[in-house]
């Protein structure tokens, strides 16, 4: 974050203080927090973050197996979210799309025949 340090030093300092206030033993220990950070980083698709938090998790005592399990939890959430997002207004969108006697709805775009 060197660019932020140069341009917005107060913001960079505040970010560092936030990190320091979170990544220490508290109700959750540091290893657990780093495992959560790994899973979150996977979901955010931040390769740098995955690497950084994996190294920190190892330093905090995490094993390869624990890191792999944290990543698998993130994978599960990501996969499940692709199914769950289709449920809108208590009705699965795929049920609505594939209704046999579906009425045509007015559309303002190019999807009409």
Q: Residue 22's pLDDT is what?
A: 97
Q: 2: pLDDT confidence band, cut at 50, 70 and 90?
A: confident
Q: Backbone phi, then psi, for 92, in 5-degree steps?
A: -70, 130
Residues counted in the chain: 113
Q: 83: pLDDT confidence band, cut at 50, 70 and 90?
A: confident
* Residue 59 token pair: 């330093």
How many angstroms separate the CA atoms of 26 and 13, rounded? 22
Average pLDDT, whole number, for the chain?
Answer: 87
DSSP 3-state assignment of 62? coil
Q: Residue 59's pLDDT is what?
A: 98
- pLDDT tens for each residue of 9-47: 999 999 999 999 999 999 999 999 999 999 999 999 999
- Are 39 and 74 spatial neighbours (Cβ–Cβ below 8 Å)? yes
Q: Residue 89's pLDDT is what?
A: 63
How many angstroms separate the CA atoms of 14 and 17, rounded? 5
């Amino acid at each position: 974050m060197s660019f932020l340090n140069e341009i917005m030093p107060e913001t960079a300092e505040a970010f560092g203080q936030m990190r320091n206030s979170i990544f220490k033993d508290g109700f959750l220990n540091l290893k657990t927090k780093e495992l959560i950070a790994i899973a979150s980083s996977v979901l955010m698709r931040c390769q740098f973050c995955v690497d950084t938090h994996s190294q920190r998790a190892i330093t905090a005592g995490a094993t390869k197996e624990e890191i792999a399990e944290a990543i698998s939890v993130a994978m599960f959430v990501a996969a499940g979210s692709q199914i769950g997002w289709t449920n809108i207004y208590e009705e699965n969108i795929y049920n609505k799309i594939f209704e046999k006697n579906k009425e045509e709805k007015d559309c303002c775009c190019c999807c009409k025949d």
